[in-house]
Amino acid sequence: AGGIEDYQKAIELDPEDFISLNNLGMLEEKMGYKDKAKEYYKKADELTGYDPEEKKEIQEASEVPKPAAEEKPKSLTDIVKSTFTQKDTFKEFMEFVKKGFKI
């Protein structure tokens, strides 16, 4: 608990020491005092201007779509049908044919 006392003293000397507030939050959380930890995290976030909700929104907006490998495989019928019903897929198919079936 010596570390907690050290950080409390640091915050007493400089109430805007967001690093000490954050570190004290981590120590409190490690000791099982989650509510106290949240208070320290919140104070540190306010001092730095960090908004966890804003970060979450930015992450969600910039998420990359899952790669094709993770998508459900299409049936052969779906693939053939899309070749003739989707303009871009048909163009790609015709280029493939023109090149002599070479990729």
What pLDDT is recorded for position 23?
94
Rounded mean pLDDT for each run of 10 residues along the chain, 103 residues in total: 88 94 94 95 89 74 65 73 79 80 73
CA-CA distances (angstroms) from residue 2 to 6, 8, 28, 68? 6, 10, 12, 52
User: Rounded CA gap, 35 and 47, in Å?
Assistant: 19
1.10.15.40, 1.25.40.10, 3.40.50.280, 3.40.50.880: CATH of 2-61: 1.25.40.10
Question: What is this structure's pTM?
Answer: 0.52
Residue 50: partners with Cβ closer than 8 Å, 6 or more residues away: 44
Q: What is the pLDDT of residue 62?
A: 74
Task: Report domain extents, the chain.
Answer: 2-61, 68-98
Measured from the Cβ of residue 12, the count of other Cβ atoms closer than 10 Å reads 10
